[in-house]
Amino acid sequence: MIPLYKLAHARAGDKGEHTTISIFAYDDQDYPILVEQLTTQAVSTFFADLHVQDVERYTLPNLSCVHFVLYGTRPGGVSSALTFDAHGKSLSWRMLDFELKN
């Protein structure tokens, strides 16, 4: 098992009630591993505690990037969110703990 942070960097953004998480392989050669293992199901399971409605994935081979939209992470949007991390910026850093199979 390799934690994702050994192979990739990531950034989260907020868009209304949803969270975007972009994962970038440090080495282009590792991009296929991300594509294979970071499925929408895997991400949905990883963030089970958030009860997201849906997870969408986009792949950008030119940038060795797998990009996720997590729908419904903060009902009502940022300004009325009750969590300490209202914007959800820490979610991409949580995701970097994702365990990749060798």
Partner 1 sequence: MKSIRIGTGAGFAGDRIDNAVNLALHGDIDYLILEGLAERTTIQAHLERLSDPQKGYGQFLEERMKTLLPICKEKNITIITNLGAANPNQAAKITEEIAETLNLQISISIVTQPLLRNVVQNYNPTLWETNEPLSMSRNEFISADAYLGAEEMLPALHNRPDVVITGRVADPSLFLAPMIHEFNWKLDDWDLLGKGTVIGHLLECGAQVTGGYFADGVTKQVNQLATVGMPIAEISSNGEATISKTPNSGGEVSIRTCKEQLLYEVMDPATYLTPDVCADFSQVTFTEVAKDIIKVDGATGRKRPDDFKLTIGIDQGFIGEAMINYVGYAAFERAKLAKSIVVERLLAHGLETNAIHTELLGAYQTTHPSEVLLRVAVKSPNYDTVGLVGYEVEALWLNGPGGPGGVRKSIRPVLSAYSATIPRSLITNLREDDEHDTTL
Confirm if 12 and 23 have CB atoms less than 8 A apart. no
Is the CB of 36 or the CB of 97 nearer to partner 1? 97
Query: Smallest distance, Å, CB 37 to partner 1?
Result: 19
Reading the block at residue 41, the tokens are 């199901």
Residues of this chain that bind partner 1 (CB under 8 A): 5, 9, 11, 13-18, 20, 22, 24, 26, 56, 58, 60, 62-63, 65, 67, 69, 75-80, 82-84, 89, 94, 97
| Beta carbon of residue 53, minimum distance to partner 1 (angstroms, whole number) | 12
**Residues 24, 71, 42, 59: is their CA dihedral positive or negative?**
negative
Instruction: Report CA dihedral (24, 66, 32, 94) to the nearest 10 degrees.
Output: 70
Q: 50 or 78, CB closer to partner 1?
A: 78
